[in-house]
A = this chain, B = another copy of it.
């Protein structure tokens, strides 16, 4: 009694009907097997002019993975990107990555889907791809490398672990169910066997940023609201200026894309937890409860950098995080952040290995993350409580808009 069904029978065609449609990207053959169901609301369209998973309202869970390309065969790499695209279109639509049962009636073949997401809803899964600087040293891509796509400079205090930094290709899978995000990464890894190898991988929970108007600002593991001034999906003009690569910015294949910076930031939470509320609030520059800037009343009030406390000192210290990270202190620099909290067990020294997996998208890292982080690394009093242990930068191409499009087509064309 071998068995065949698509991952989530009830939502197959609903998923396929969203956006450009999975059928156009993934080949429609399998789509005819299932009856038309009710539309569902937790599918994020895979196709479109920009990749999903950037301005998409931040989902609750993350599985991020960086791959090394282990083949020298350019055609094999391109074929994998085609296969990945088809699988990603299926999975974001709430379907399996491929046949779960016997393939072409051949029960002795391994299933084309690993099965652990069977029966789970689409869970707003997005799968976003980026290409690291190291990829452009091979496959004849040197001339296609954007000038800004360089390994990040060393910042003061960096304690990076090379084994969990960099990578040729990054995949960011976000979903409201971690099992769905893990399933997506795992199936791409399975499809890529022999072509890519997992370099590092990070799970995250508890999104730390809001990326849409009305989405509440969550708290990081310092217990504070952070990223209040994040770019939001609705701010079209700001997104054009600060988020999406514009024509003429660099090679054409990146127009409509964005540069992704990742930083794994270990928080020394035990030390933080021993500092007083006053000290914590002074370091952040916000009240812990309301999230309001010190001296202000509400979270979204503008910080007043001129106000002075009873002691004659600035209420918002020159070393406070909110002041150092503010656009006014950084030539107007803005990024779209969508980081996640992490806890990776313990560190063997009696402490939780916890912190923030920082993720930021931007039009030009040289004008956004790099100068802001330089300033933070040099001055932020919070540095006493954090350690940057991993770093990555990736060029995320635009979205897919043609039926035969696949990840990286314009790059490899």
Q: Check B100 against A288 for contact (C-beta < 8 Å).
A: yes
Residues of B within 8 A of A63 (CB): 343
The reply to whether the CB of A206 lies closer than 8 angstroms to some CB of chain B is yes
Residue of B nearest to A1 (CB): B287
Q: Check A345 against B344 for contact (C-beta < 8 Å).
A: yes
Residues of B within 8 A of A369 (CB): none
CA distance A200 to B344 in the complex (A): 10
Size of the A side of the interface (Cβ < 8 Å), in residues, is 79
Q: Check A179 against B201 for contact (C-beta < 8 Å).
A: no
Set B4, B114, B274, B343: member contacting A273, Cβ < 8 A: B114
CA distance A280 to B219 in the complex (A): 42
Q: Check A288 against B198 for contact (C-beta < 8 Å).
A: no
Q: Check A186 against B269 for contact (C-beta < 8 Å).
A: yes
Stretch in A16-24, A81-89, A103-111 touching the partner = A103-111
Beta-carbon contacts under 8 Å, A154-190 to B: 163-164, 177-179, 182, 185-186, 189-190
Residues of B within 8 A of A348 (CB): 163
Q: Check A190 against B220 for contact (C-beta < 8 Å).
A: no
Beta-carbon contacts under 8 Å, A269-288 to B: 269-270, 273-278, 280, 287-288
The reply to whether the CB of A142 lies closer than 8 angstroms to some CB of chain B is no
Residue of B nearest to A115 (CB): B223
Q: Check A346 against B219 for contact (C-beta < 8 Å).
A: no
Closest chain B CB from A104 CB (angstroms): 12
The reply to whether the CB of A59 lies closer than 8 angstroms to some CB of chain B is no
The reply to whether the CB of A350 lies closer than 8 angstroms to some CB of chain B is yes
Q: Check B343 against A288 for contact (C-beta < 8 Å).
A: no
Set B198, B277, B294: member contacting A352, Cβ < 8 A: B198
Beta-carbon contacts under 8 Å, A1-55 to B: 1-5
Residue of B nearest to A197 (CB): B350
Q: Check A277 against B102 for contact (C-beta < 8 Å).
A: yes
Q: Check A273 against B190 for contact (C-beta < 8 Å).
A: yes
Give this chain's copy count: 2
CA distance A276 to B117 in the complex (A): 18
Set B68, B203, B223, B344: member contacting A118, Cβ < 8 A: B223
Residue of B nearest to A185 (CB): B352
CA distance A202 to B352 in the complex (A): 10
Set B3, B116, B294, B345: member contacting A206, Cβ < 8 A: B116
CA distance A115 to B190 in the complex (A): 39
CA distance A383 to B287 in the complex (A): 53
CA distance A201 to B85 in the complex (A): 36
Q: Check A110 against B182 for contact (C-beta < 8 Å).
A: no
Beta-carbon contacts under 8 Å, A59-107 to B: 61, 63, 65, 68, 70, 100-102, 107
The reply to whether the CB of A146 lies closer than 8 angstroms to some CB of chain B is no
Chain A interface (Cβ within 8 Å of chain B)?
Answer: 1-5, 61, 63, 65, 68, 70, 100-102, 107-111, 113-119, 163-164, 177-179, 182, 185-186, 189-190, 193, 197-203, 205-206, 216, 218-224, 269-270, 273-278, 280, 287-290, 294-295, 341, 343-346, 348, 350-354
User: Can you list 23 contacts pairing A with B, beta carbon distance less than 8 Å?
Assistant: A2-B278, A61-B178, A68-B350, A100-B288, A109-B276, A109-B277, A110-B273, A110-B275, A111-B273, A111-B277, A111-B280, A115-B219, A115-B224, A116-B221, A163-B348, A179-B206, A186-B221, A189-B352, A190-B273, A200-B345, A201-B346, A201-B352, A202-B345
